Chain A
Amino acid sequence: MTLPEGARERWVRTGGIELCVAELGDPERPTVVLVHGYPDSKEVWSEVASRLVDRHGFHVVLYDVRGHGRSGVPKPLRGGFTLEKLTDDFLAVVEAVSPDRPVHLVGHDWGSVQSWEFVTVERTRGRIASFTSMSGPSLDHFGHWINKRMTRPTPRRVGQLLGQGAKSWYVYLLHTPVLPELAWRGPLGKRWPGILRRIEKVPAGDYPTPSLASDAAHGAWLYRDNVRPRLRRPRADAYAHAPVQLITPSGDRFLSERLYDGLEDWVPRLTRRVLPAGHWIPRTRPDRLASWIDDFVSSVERERQTEAAGEARGDDAGGPVRKAATGRYAERFAGQLVLVTGAGSGIGRATAFAFAEAGARVIAVDRDAESAARTAELSLLVGAPEAWAEAVDVSDEQAMEKLAAKVHAEHGVVDVLVNNAGIGLSGSFFDTTSEDWRRVLDVNLWGVIHGCALFGRRMAERGQGGHIVNIASAAAYQPSKALPAYSTSKAAVLMLSECLRAELADQGIGVTAICPGLVNTNITATATFVGVDAQEERRRQRRSTRAYGLRNYPPEKVANAVLRAVVLDKAMVPVTPEARGSYALSRFLPRALRALARVGPPL
């Protein structure tokens, strides 16, 4: 048995068969019912369930759908798996485990397909408090989705139809008689664990369970009993009567993201979440799922409590007002842990705010404690559920180690790491002393190395994806006689990012190098100019600050580019138009760029 320790099993009798139901955690707490998909049994949820119980303190209920795992098999098989019967099963289970309070429903794959039925039929009203759907659309919504595209085909709609049509190949195969059963009980059943590991990157272990072959053979009737009738005649009243959280894996091989376009018409209260992962997220991303389920369930519970309290008092007093994350990328970053170095000013601060706006939990790291605290404080105001400030110098290895230990102990593994801290240094190579070199490399290169090594390692060990963003510079590929040390450090950062990207690709961790260009930040005011006296240095700082101010490219736009790059998993992003121009030159006309390098800046 692969369920976590302390699982209490019981049998629930319904419609002539017995269902195997497992319970975890304190029954007094809100109940979360997890429904598995095809070809699975309730054990697919073991990782998520243990987190929901241990970290988030829920009462978790899992059951084997009829014909799967240790539950009974309906006889005959044909007609034994209709959505109506599955709804009966669900109601029987809920009646047994939580007779007084509505439950929070979570479904994956076919578990989500049937849960959509539960949450849209009238006889379950009041029994479901919320529903979290992943990788399983409502067959009724799907039917309307197809009809809409068939009756009014535009090129885009035809493309969407064909795209999903191609992804559904296995559904057609499952409709052939006998063959699927033979395959599953034969070679496919044996190979399946290996296929999951190779293609879906599901970690090895005690999943899938030994019952796989019979689960998959019986489960084929889920498709045969329901898909054709429902798609041909979808219900017109399939409106959800509970709040729904939709988690869409963006790398799903079987379901197009476009399936959920227009879902708002069916679900009055919809929360969308996007996860860059494949189909089997309960196995590959349990931490993220548990945290999103917790956020959603807790917010619904809070709402129900205030409603109850409001009714009791006879007024409509709400809880404390907190700004919900409204940013463009809130679907993707809500609740994620983001660490930004150099977050006390400029690009780092703007990036912290942009992540905060997308609902991420932000750790603002800066050498200057006060400005880091300020960034954390304002992050809370624009939508971060939590934000912390840390005063650390990224070039100090021991301090960084201490920071990493503290972060991992208190907040967990970082989901997005932004290595942004950097300093400027300008002047002839021969005026640059080894002390100058050391300082620039310590911050610009070693800071990034420390960040990637300490936080990236834990990210890789966790094996649940993540992203590392390193802020390089247009100077990384654009030579200049004025910036030998700075450009060298940034070129190293760029190459480090590329190599790390190659190494971490298999772990689902993306690495991005951002090359901003001339951006209006205080890097010019704090830059060192070697080979000149203090007065001249101040003059040059002023002049360059003025020049950057006239260019006036705001750091907020770089921050947007950072978020976009993480969402799209870009390898390298030049940001300002001049950075993009010189990147094009470096690829197609490198000699022109070399000629430009000989022209000094007009300071």
Chain B
Amino acid sequence: MTTAPTAGTRELSAELRGFRRVQRLAYDCAQAVAAELRPGVTEREAARMQREWLRERGVRDWFHLPFAWFGDRTAFTGFRVPLQFFPTGRRLEPGMPFILDLAPVYEGYTADIGYSGALGAHPVQERLMADLAAHRELILREVRERRSLREIYADVDRLMVRQGYANRHRAYPFGVIAHKVDRVRERRFSPRLFGFGTQSLKGLVADALHGHREGWSPLWSPYRFSDHPPRPGLWAVEPHLGFRGTGAKFEEILVVTDSADPEESAFWLDDDLPHVRGWAGTGATTDTAGKAERK
């Protein structure tokens, strides 16, 4: 990490501190639940464990309810309709990879995170996670260069193909690699529609309407409506790699501002996250990205 200032050195506003708090809470939850996973646990049970862990700590509303994917469902093998994203009765077996994806709203701040792991050693997934480091740096660099979101998407795609992987975020609704998140008003009653909190959906739809008039979109997709420079705000970025029935992703918040200073114009909200710490430990750095770019 040479360019990205760490959360420690940057003075965050109260608002960003709120987002960082909930993002850390979400990652704590994912780690706690991942440590609890045992052979035989189903996806539904894993999703419920996340929900209950966060409810105990005061989470009342959700951007979306927690997801859990086991085995080849981590690579969305055979996914045709969005309903297949919801947790199933598939049971975890030793050596199976898993992904937990949760998006709690806490004190009005939203987080949306993804956590990849496996029950026991899983060399393929470990490799995928290591190779995601290059994507995290590529995205940040190109956002700072104010490239169009659609172009950045295509560059991430090319890097994946060069690494030998398949793009699996293409399976998400609208094929998004990221979407905007925002503050949400806290209500006593927080109903959900297809697992997505109505308050958050309302914010997203409002953004989409504004954006449609002004020529931008809260969804970062490969399509024409994303052919615009990054819009200031908070983006939950989730590159998702797939390789022969194994998937891996991370998801975290990228802060985009309208500052002229490149360092300040975009930065990851928090650099003290499990996957980032993992890369620092193993020395997975910009090398892969740099090499790929020089070609």
Contacts and interface: CB of A to CB of B under 8 A. Distances in A.
Interface stretch (B58-66, B160-168, B183-191): B160-168
A321 interface: yes
B291 A374 contact: no
A110 B244 CA distance: 42
Given A321-B121, A381-B124, A349 B291 contact: no
B123 A370 contact: no
Contacts of B163: 374
B121 A382 contact: no
Contacts of A390: none
A349 B164 contact: yes
Nearest to B127: A381
A164 interface: no
A522 interface: yes
B162 A371 contact: yes
B161 A382 contact: no
B80 interface: no
Interface string A519-553: 00010000000000000000000000000000000
Interface string A299-339: 00000000000000000000001010000000000000000
SS of A interface (majority): helix
Contacts of B243: 378, 382
Contacts of B127: 378, 381
A541 to B, nearest CB: 13
A335 to B, nearest CB: 20
Given A321-B121, A323-B123, A357-B244, A378 B164 contact: yes
Report the contact-size class of chain B (Cβ under 8 Å from the partner): 10 to 19
Nearest to B124: A381
A375 interface: yes
Contact of A522 (B121, B161, B164, B291): B161
Interface in B242-268: 243-244
A345 B166 CA distance: 12
A353 interface: yes
B213 interface: no
A590 B127 CA distance: 49
B161 to A, nearest CB: 7
Interface residues of A, number: 16
B295 interface: yes
A382 B244 contact: yes
Most buried by A among B127, B161, B166, B295: B161
Interface in A555-588: 556
B89 to A, nearest CB: 23
Contacts of A371: 162
Contacts of A522: 161
Given A353-B244, A357-B244, A370-B291, A381 B123 contact: yes
A165 to B, nearest CB: 41
Contacts of B295: 370
A556 B242 CA distance: 12
A366 to B, nearest CB: 12
A35 to B, nearest CB: 37
Given A378-B127, A381-B124, A345 B244 contact: no
A378 to B, nearest CB: 5
Interface of A: 321, 323, 345, 349, 353, 357, 370-371, 374-375, 378, 381-382, 522, 554, 556
Given A378-B243, A381-B123, A522-B161, 19 more contacts: A321-B121, A321-B123, A323-B123, A323-B124, A345-B161, A345-B162, A349-B164, A353-B244, A357-B244, A370-B295, A371-B162, A374-B162, A374-B164, A378-B127, A378-B164, A381-B127, A382-B243, A382-B244, A554-B166
Interface of B: 121, 123-124, 127, 161-164, 166, 243-244, 291, 295
- The 8 tightest CB contacts between A and B, nearest first, are A381-B124, A378-B164, A381-B123, A321-B121, A382-B244, A374-B164, A381-B127, A349-B164
9 contacts: A323-B124, A345-B162, A374-B162, A378-B164, A378-B243, A381-B124, A381-B127, A382-B124, A382-B244
